[in-house]
Amino acid sequence: MKTRELGRTGIRVSPYCLGTMMFGQAGNPDADECARIVHRALDAGINFVDTADVYSGSESEVILGKALKGRRDDVVLATKVNGSMGADPNRGGSSRRWIVTEVEHSLRRLGTDHIDLYQVHHPDPLTDVEETLSALTDLVRDGKVRAIGSSNFLASEIVEAQWVAERRGLHRFRTEQPTYSVLNRAVEHEVLPTCQRYGMGVLVWSPLASGMLTGRYRKGMARPDNARMHWVSRHLTDERKLDAVEQLIPVAAEAGLSLTHLAMAFAVAHPGITSAIIGPRTLDHLEDLLAGAATVLDDAVLDRIDRIVPPGTDLGPIDVAYVPPAIARTALRRRPADERAAA
């Protein structure tokens, strides 16, 4: 598998990144099979692996750490911090207090003395970004972290973080991890151009739109009654997305591809994207993804995709996607009733 530059870090990574959100109770509790998935991915040329402290309540990091024994030096290892790790309100977020504590936990669970890419999982509106960057800078200087990144940040938040780093002489975010797929292209408006402007690497999550772009969920088909459907039920039953899938399937077929392979090839075709995160739950899922790793879409196919889902279009949010407070909190979108009445 050919490698690409991860922004301006000097690190080269594979265009597919192995994501491990499905390792553990949230997906595949069989640690041995998860280890086989890791080993098969590495053998196939994938050298980039992404996890997070919150995945399966930290079980994912533990499983991955054991799977990487003896092969740690062959891997660009990424994990994330920010998600809530317990009832204590201080066990989460992007404060210095939590970051310097949680990095030690992640290092222990992963069985390593350093993390190649340490990412802030979500923006934290309650913490000054200077506080966050200052803590992360110290981790880089201590050798515990090689590079730092953001995830799910708005373009304005990316710019603010870059400016703060420059003004304060701090290490800057070298990567961003947004959601991106044929069905969710909103980051093409500002996030991807902003990352390109600052020379940031981009690893995208959910390039298969949480399973929607595998072709397993079709318009008019009975909805499977399983845990996954309850987890992302709104997303997988969205009529606009289902309509798009029905139009994309013949495009893939005429190109001699499965919908999965079409979707993955689309995700890594954008010049601003370094790597697309795959999240196989089973070894069979991984084998199918690897089978399409060499797929390259020509302009005619990409043009047809653009006509179905125009550039910059987001057909609807993924249920697990981050929602900024300005959108999620009603109080931030409406003046108080008495003020509205007075106006």
What are the pLDDT digits (tens) for 16-42? 999 999 999 989 999 999 999 999 999
Indicate which residues carry an active-site annotation. 55
Q: Which helix or strand (DSSP H or E) is residue 170 part of?
A: none
Do 120 and 95 touch, CB atoms closer than 8 A? no
Of 74-83, 167-176, 312-321, least confident by mean pLDDT is 312-321
- Helical axes 259-267 vs 239-254, angle rounded to 10°: 100
pTM of the model: 0.93
pLDDT band at 157 (very low <50, low <70, confident <90, very high): very high
| All domains of the chain in start order, with CATH | 4-342 (3.20.20.100)
pLDDT in tens, 252-307: 999 999 999 999 999 999 999 999 999 999 999 999 999 999 999 999 999 999 99
Identify the pLDDT of residue 224. Answer: 61
Q: Is the pLDDT of residue 50 over 70?
A: yes
Segment 77-100 shows an average pLDDT of 96
Of 40-44, 62-66, 93-97, 312-316, least confident by mean pLDDT is 312-316
Distances (CA, A) of 71 to 129, 228, 279, 280: 34, 32, 20, 20
Beta strand 76-81 pairing with 115-120: parallel
What does DSSP assign to residue 270? S
Beta strand 16-19 pairing with 275-278: parallel
Closest CA to 229 of 212, 247, 251: 212
SS3 227: helix
Identify the pLDDT of residue 204. Answer: 98
The total of other beta-carbon atoms located within 10 Å of residue 113's CB is 9
